[in-house]
Structure 1
């Protein structure tokens, strides 16, 4: 038995080795298909990206063919380099730099040598490609924008970088990927699936046919089409209204949370980021630190909300039982608090909730806020109750919309003030500016619009979103989930009536639209900037929030105009025009429209540049 043991072991080991070799060579070909394998040439077929439509079925984004010259460095042998440079219209130094860059990426794998040739360049190179070993043409698809608006919603596509490739093995050098906007958010849906062909080569590197008769080859699968909630006509109209202004417009359908329009200004033509000029154009847009066209002010702009926040102060006051519809506060052009401090107000008289909203009485809402905080045994507890009410409206946090950028604003809590006042001593009057949307309150324009959608719905909202339909899939269920606030629905009726009165005889009466019952609130927000450590006050921001019609609301909207001076000057007229455009599809007040189209705030923005220049001179 002992003599037979060694032969048995040898036989078993031999069988195991042979079995493994059989499995690897006959059954499992994955090692052969690896991209580093010199015996195979892997050719990718790139699919079309999914098309993009607006809510009414209008095509927004299609595709156009593009051709990249690819290179496999180790196969570049015995070519006429100068002739190739002449065809491609590049210098020899540039040729060497590109080839070296490709070699660093991988000597054996293909990478982009010259991207995005047009048809004429492609034809010229294709005719003589046989003379240039190691080079071949890869067809891809670039975006073809059917509109010149919506850039900050769409985003753009560019070549992947090393970080993208390391993060996701699906991508190879030269692949395109969505950046910003829906192109980034829905990349996995829009990009489709690459097709792959495996071509076998002999030891002389000559192609000898498909590997395994094409058994492992796959066809490209086109990306899925998507439909956005955007109304592109409303979007175009909003961008026209925002010419020569900075700020944003965000309109939402209250019953669904669907984003109807998202305008950030200044913006740019999305076509600028397509083709060979994309990199240069992007650099110019990125370096524009004055206008910041790549900055999405609607999603990332954080501002004090100003008077529109008084809506929430009133609602919290009623929910906490410290005021009701009949509660009145005496106002004498302001409110004294603390040690002789005074909050100015344009109102006077014995003011109730309805009038306080219509005329934007600071005194009423300061008193209401004070009562809310002081209702509890200490300011910390009162502040936290107040803060939780606001958070139920989605404030102080990311709303969860399906665009990849944004900020969450700020709603202070007791912990925040404890850090500022470590020895205690803060109370309702210390934080009284919160009552009128100043102080430590920070909101984004999309949060303002969502706030108005919530008021229009009398206490609930759906997460704002830009996706309406995916070709063969369902949208994320988080967009169909109702969020209910901590405010009882019965408290919304008197606030809504006050908002309606803003248009009847309040601060928004100058921009009424005949036949449309609009509920809205003006806002004028103090605006400061800091240059070289010194604080300067600039023209106030102009704000307006609204929804319409009063009954069965179809649109909620927020308009924020930087340096617009006061709410009724720019934001309110633009809001009323956007509402009329959406509900009626036409404008009756042509004189107002003309004034908004032609109006410019460039002189106000130039003041900031002048201040910066003056400050720079003083520091030299």
Structure 2
């Protein structure tokens, strides 16, 4: 038995050796998973971020372009650091930020890269690039931020920023990862899918110190990035720039539209901000500063602010009355100030005179005839039926709901219904005397400046509009714009009724808005003074020009500036002159608007 022991040991060792050889053969020849793991340890996957599409104005002038920036990426498993103080000095990072960034990277992944320092400028990158070789686990990725050659159009163009957690969770495409930049407002957000482009991926061989040793397998697995689509916007850079110049120091909005197409020529929300402030490494700090500003420069007034339309709404009342046969050009009412206050003008007036002189008592009486049609012997029921029928007609003018502009955050205003008054007063407990303020564009009526500019376009077009929009072409192709912006919307009023309206609006310029007169350009417009219970009234004006071949329709709101014939009409008139002539010759009026002393 003892003589057999050496043989057993030899056989056991032989069998174990055979097993190990078979296992080694399997690992090295049959199973390539360990080879792949080894390759992964030496291969760096680098996402190639595409250049975001550029944005131009309607005349081909550049509005938004890309500026290269750099992110310092960290792979926690490979990162080695001997002297923390020296590292912080070289890379310009606080020790607390370094620790926080490292812990966040570890939490995300031990082996995948995470950003340690974001949005490093070209200048700062030049200072650190020679030191990267001394720190394993660090490498640079290149991306871009938006830049603006002219600091204008911030609300229309929008801005980009790092994707939020909630938005990342909602992304079903798998396109975005933590740290990616996306459009957050304006055109940047609405056209995110078109502007963002397609990511690429490059695989690089690196040694244990993280030094680039060239592409993996000669780039066999690399994919190229594709830049985003370039967008030609409808904005006229020079008009936008001039409008912001006029509105500096004021609160309000200006929207100018090309009536025949619905293309937005200028969209100004005042106060505004330099869009370059919301780019680069200072994005967060500047955003907090703007967001805390009590004047609300981030608030997009053209599509978000809602005001009573004031006397401008009398034009809508006139058209509904004409179409329904309730009013005719000869319909005449006395300026009975016991019904509602009015200013001095000849009395009585027909429809033309009512528009020209903005007669409040006329529309008090005309609106009563539109609402109380005697379809019911019960006056409360009669008013309810009439109001709802009237509301349906008003809605065709693009009021009471969103128009569908190509930007987020649009509000629809409010056109009250019978259900609204039922909730407030109780069913059958309100009548015309309760709602008569609607006749002159006050009370519960609410509209946005965009809707008012669209009304001006409707009056210019004699009864139709195209949804206001900010895109003119994509990659130079005008047919690529969304089809909803190419569809005509009729408001249900015959074109013949607009002749009187246009003539009366042209005559009104010489009455309530004499400052708006341009010697060789015929304007048609309407002033409004929207009541404001919190202070001075708002100055409102809409217009289109030239009257017989309209090329621009405009709405101006200047908050707390009093009469519409002063601040709003003057501003609109100057912008019309700028757009049609190319320059402004009425420098005295321009100085008046810039001074901003409209109340006194």
Given the two structures, how large is their TM-score scaled by the length of structure 2?
Answer: 0.88
Q: Is the 8 A contact 1:99 1:113 kept in 2?
A: yes
**Correspondence for 1:149:** 152
Change (3 A) 1:41 1:369: same
Deviation at 1:373, TM superposition (A): 0.7
**Correspondence for 2:563:** 566
Report SS of the residue matched to 1:559: strand
Q: From 545, 568, 584, give the equivalent of 1:587.
A: 584
Deviation at 1:385, TM superposition (A): 1.2
**Correspondence for 1:447:** 451
- Structure 1 segment 212-231 matched on structure 2, within 5 A: 213-231=218-236
Mapped pair 1:185 → 2:190: yes
Q: From 348, 352, 356, give the equivalent of 1:358.
A: 356
Change (3 A) 1:97 1:428: same
Report the Cα distance in structure 2 between the residues aligned to 1:102 and 1:448, rounded to whole angstroms.
51
Mapped pair 1:502 → 2:508: yes
Aligned length: 557
Report SS of the residue matched to 1:82: helix
Change (3 A) 1:201 1:116: closer
Q: Is the 8 A contact 2:136 2:209 kept in 1?
A: no
**Correspondence for 2:45:** 42
**Correspondence for 1:312:** 316
Residue by residue, what CA displacement relative to the aligned partner does 1:224-264 show, whole Å, maximum 9, x if unpaired?
Answer: 11101001100010001101110011000000000000011
Residue by residue, what CA displacement relative to the aligned partner does 1:343-365 show, whole Å, maximum 9, x if unpaired?
Answer: 44544511111111111000111
Q: From 240, 251, 260, give the equivalent of 1:235.
A: 240
- Structure 1 segment 41-80 matched on structure 2, within 5 A: 41-80=44-83
Deviation at 1:163, TM superposition (A): 2.4
Moved more, 202-211 or 562-571: 202-211
Q: From 492, 495, 519, give the equivalent of 1:486.
A: 492
Q: Is the 8 A contact 1:518 1:547 kept in 2?
A: yes
Report the Cα distance in structure 2 between the residues aligned to 1:125 and 1:313, rounded to whole angstroms.
68
Deviation at 1:427, TM superposition (A): 1.7
Q: From 281, 286, 290, give the equivalent of 2:291.
A: 286
Report the Cα distance in structure 2 between the residues aligned to 1:162 and 1:472, rounded to whole angstroms.
35
Deviation at 1:397, TM superposition (A): 0.6
Deviation at 1:421, TM superposition (A): 2.4
Residue by residue, what CA displacement relative to the aligned partner does 1:332-391 show, whole Å, maximum 9, x if unpaired?
Answer: 3x243xxxxx44454451111111111100011111111011114322221111101111
How large is the Cα RMSD of the aligned pairs? Answer: 2.4
Report the Cα distance in structure 2 between the residues aligned to 1:104 and 1:399, rounded to whole angstroms.
45
Mapped pair 1:389 → 2:389: no
Deviation at 1:430, TM superposition (A): 1.3
Report the Cα distance in structure 1 between the residues aligned to 2:139 and 2:41, rounded to whole angstroms.
17
Report SS of the residue matched to 1:394: coil
Q: Is the 8 A contact 1:200 1:208 kept in 2?
A: yes
Q: From 420, 436, 440, give the equivalent of 2:440.
A: 436
**Correspondence for 1:258:** 263
Report the Cα distance in structure 2 between the residues aligned to 1:427 and 1:321, rounded to whole angstroms.
23
Mapped pair 1:269 → 2:269: no
- Structure 1 segment 519-598 matched on structure 2, within 5 A: 519-529=524-534, 538-598=535-595
**Correspondence for 2:15:** none
Deviation at 1:542, TM superposition (A): 0.4
Q: Is the 8 A contact 2:516 2:572 kept in 1?
A: no
Mapped pair 1:303 → 2:307: yes
Residue by residue, what CA displacement relative to the aligned partner does 1:304-338 show, whole Å, maximum 9, x if unpaired?
Answer: 01000010011111112111100000113x243xx
Moved more, 242-251 or 203-212: 203-212
Which sections of structure 2, spanning at least 5 residues, go unmatched? 1-30, 377-381
**Correspondence for 1:607:** none
Change (3 A) 1:203 1:549: closer
Report the Cα distance in structure 2 between the residues aligned to 1:165 and 1:105, rounded to whole angstroms.
15
Structure with more strand by fraction = 1
Report the Cα distance in structure 2 between the residues aligned to 1:354 and 1:50, rounded to whole angstroms.
50
Q: From 419, 425, 430, give the equivalent of 1:421.
A: 425
Report the Cα distance in structure 1 between the residues aligned to 2:417 and 2:457, rounded to whole angstroms.
25
Residue by residue, what CA displacement relative to the aligned partner does 1:534-566 show, whole Å, maximum 9, x if unpaired?
Answer: xxxx11100000001111111000000000111
Report SS of the residue matched to 1:61: strand
Moved more, 172-181 or 460-469: 172-181
**Correspondence for 1:466:** 470
Mapped pair 1:112 → 2:105: no
Report SS of the residue matched to 1:350: coil
Mapped pair 1:198 → 2:196: no
Q: Is the 8 A contact 2:183 2:192 kept in 1?
A: yes
Q: Is the 8 A contact 2:509 2:525 kept in 1?
A: yes
Change (3 A) 1:206 1:259: closer
Change (3 A) 1:110 1:164: farther
Report the Cα distance in structure 2 between the residues aligned to 1:494 and 1:115, rounded to whole angstroms.
62
Report the Cα distance in structure 1 between the residues aligned to 2:151 and 2:416, rounded to whole angstroms.
40
Report SS of the residue matched to 1:557: strand
Report SS of the residue matched to 2:306: coil
**Greater radius of gyration (CA):** 2
**Correspondence for 2:161:** 158
Moved more, 543-552 or 509-518: 509-518
Report the Cα distance in structure 1 between the residues aligned to 2:469 and 2:237, rounded to whole angstroms.
15
Residue by residue, what CA displacement relative to the aligned partner does 1:397-424 show, whole Å, maximum 9, x if unpaired?
Answer: 1100101122110011122122222241
Residue by residue, what CA displacement relative to the aligned partner does 1:75-124 show, whole Å, maximum 9, x if unpaired?
Answer: 22354332211112222222111212222333333222111112232122
